Structure 1
Amino acid sequence: MGILGWIVLGLIAGAIAKAVMPGRDPGGIIVTILIGIVGAILGGFIGSAVFGTGLGNFFDLSTWLLAILGSVVLLGIYRLVTGRRARA
């Protein structure tokens, strides 16, 4: 998958992660897109390390599930880190 595929996959995965975890985030749409892209890459690495499958075909269900899972995990970590910083 090319760089444009990663960006599109990350954009959609970030939007789905935001829908799964609604609430206020310190960042805007750009931060959500970046979290989605990095989360998709993170999900691919975790998937290849744990399950032996990574992000391959754009239309494969496992690719989407790993990208969304990575984005949700990264969004949760982001909220924990920025939430503590905002309270301090």
Structure 2
Amino acid sequence: MGIIGTILIGLIVGFVARLLHPGKDGLGVIMTSLLGIAGSLVATYGGQALGIYHAGEGAGFLGAVIGAVVILFVVTRLKK
């Protein structure tokens, strides 16, 4: 999957992460999308670099969701 595909998946991942992260975080749609893209990029290329999974595997989507939730958690804690 190329960078454009990763970004598109990141948009979806951002909204999934928002649903999984409990509580009100006060972030808008654009910030949620950017956090999803960041989580997707970090998880996709980080997971592939570490050899956890290969391009196109379903684990990449799961890793992107986990990465986005972690980034969302960190951002909301730093915002407080």
TM range, normalised to the smaller chain?
0.7 to 0.9
Q: How many residues align?
A: 80
Residue 67 (structure 1) aligned with residue 64 (structure 2):
yes
Q: Give runs of aligned pairs for residues 14-29 of structure 1, distance below 5 A.
A: 14-29=14-29
Distance 1:73 1:56 in 2: 21
How big is the alpha-carbon RMSD for the aligned residues of Structure 1 and Structure 2?
1.8
Distance 1:55 1:70 in 2: 16
Distance 1:55 1:15 in 2: 24
Q: Give runs of aligned pairs for residues 37-56 of structure 1, distance below 5 A.
A: 37-48=37-48, 50=50, 52-54=51-53, 56=55
Mark the CA change 1:28 to 1:63 in structure 2 (over 3 Å): closer, same or farther.
same
Mark the CA change 1:29 to 1:6 in structure 2 (over 3 Å): closer, same or farther.
same
Q: Aligned-pair distance for 1:25?
A: 2.2
TM-score, length-scaled by structure 2: 0.84
Task: State the 4+ residue runs in structure 1 displaced beyond 3 angstroms.
Answer: none
The equivalent residue for 1:86 is none
Distance 2:58 2:26 in 1: 30
Conserved in 2, the CA contact under 8 Å of 1:26 and 1:82? no
Unaligned runs of 5+ in 1: 84-88
Q: Secondary structure at the match of 1:64?
A: helix
Distance 2:27 2:2 in 1: 27
Q: Secondary structure at the match of 1:41?
A: helix
